[in-house]
């Protein structure tokens, strides 16, 4: 079984400032890691994913995340946010064995970009 | 990229009626589709895994007789909320896993969600 903890339910940040959204996970097996973005009344869009290889993963819209195995973290970062980044962000994990069958989502972090 | 279309995006129904939500993979085949429910200010909770040509697998606590899932083709899964009540009001999201095998794939693609309001 796995679990995902997103420590911050809301993160306000000024436009053009950097942001970090935190994600920690717990799992008894090796996992894949994902970050999704959800705009109001819409489904989820994949920002980035970590499968293997380099621990620094670059995604769409200028986001990146770093996998830290020792700290079981997968924090999402962006050096300069825009108003359009205002949305809810979900961290997720799925077990490597068996593919995407049992993905687990965190509770989400609402990013509020202030003009 | 892979596109999943979910319909309708919003629906309002009277208590006691049934509502069908469709999830279609437009440019790929998906043996496996997932149905989630999202309450306000909460994360997505997996309701069931829909498998083409076989019965869906429901998560613990989800009533299979209330939430009927039919995955009749490799591109379409439907969720029917039967005898809907106000407590069923929620945001329902589907996702589809590309590939006919369903195993070993690392990413599913999400529909845009359906806002169900039962009055």
Helix (H, G, I), strand (E, B) or coil at A40: coil
Q: Give residue A31's Cα distance to chain centre.
A: 14
B50 touches A: beta carbon within 8 Å: no
User: Residue B43's pLDDT band (boundaries 50, 70, 90)?
Assistant: confident
B6, B93, B107: residue with CB nearest A100? B107
Q: Give chain A positions within 8 Å (CB) of B23.
A: none
Let me know the angle formed at the C-alpha of A6 by A86 and B90, rounded to the nearest 5 degrees.
65
Identity of the residue in A36, A43, A94 whose CB atom sits nearest the CB atom of B113: A43
- pLDDT (tens, 9 = 90+) of chain A, 115 residues, equals 889 999 999 999 999 999 999 999 999 888 899 999 998 878 889 999 998 889 999 999 999 999 999 999 999 999 999 999 999 999 999 888 765 667 889 999 999 999 9
pLDDT of residue A98: 64
Say whether B106 and A90 touch across the interface (CB within 8 A): no
B51 three-state secondary structure: strand
| pLDDT at position B5 over 60 | yes
Distance of alpha carbon B59 from alpha carbon B80, whole angstroms: 16
Banded model confidence at residue B102, pLDDT cuts 50, 70, 90: very low
Residue A101 in contact with residue B32, Cβ under 8 Å? yes
Is-cis flag, bond preceding B8, omega within 30? yes
Residue with structure tokens 């830290």? A68
Note the pLDDT tens digit of each residue in B75-98: 999 999 999 999 999 999 999 988
Highest averaged pLDDT of the listed ranges A101-105, B29-33, B39-43: B29-33
pLDDT the model gives residue B93: 93
pLDDT digits (tens, 9 = 90+) for A44-74: 899 999 988 899 999 999 999 999 999 999 9
Q: Which residues does chain B have within 8 Å of residue A105's beta carbon, measured at their own beta carbons?
A: 43-44
Residue A100 has its nearest CB partner, among B6, B42, B106, at B106
Q: How far apart (Å, rounded) are the C-alpha atoms in residues B103 and B113?
A: 24
């Amino acid at each position: 079984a796995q679990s995902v903890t997103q420590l911050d339910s809301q993160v306000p940040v000024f436009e053009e400032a950097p942001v970090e959204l935190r994600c920690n996970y717990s799992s008894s097996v090796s996992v894949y890691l994902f970050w999704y973005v959800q705009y109001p009344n819409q489904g989820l869009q994949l920002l980035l994913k970590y499968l293997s290889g380099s621990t620094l993963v670059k995604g769409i819209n200028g986001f990146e995340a770093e996998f830290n195995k020792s700290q079981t973290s997968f924090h999402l970062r962006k050096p300069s946010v825009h108003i359009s980044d205002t949305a809810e962000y979900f961290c997720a994990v799925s077990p490597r064995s068996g593919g995407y069958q049992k993905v687990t989502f965190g509770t989400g972090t609402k990013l509020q970009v202030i003009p | 990229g892979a596109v999943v279309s979910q319909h309708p995006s919003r629906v309002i129904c009277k208590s006691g009626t049934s509502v069908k939500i469709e999830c279609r993979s437009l440019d790929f085949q998906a043996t496996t589709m997932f149905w989630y429910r999202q309450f306000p200010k909460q994360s997505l909770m997996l309701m069931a895994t829909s498998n083409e040509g076989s019965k869906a697998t429901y998560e613990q606590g989800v009533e299979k007789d209330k939430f009927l899932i039919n995955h009749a083709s490799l591109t379409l899964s439907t969720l029917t909320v039967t005898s809907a009540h106000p407590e069923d009001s929620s945001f329902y999201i589907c996702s589809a896993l590309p590939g006919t095998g369903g195993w070993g794939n690392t990413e599913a693609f999400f529909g845009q969600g359906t806002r169900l309001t039962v009055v």
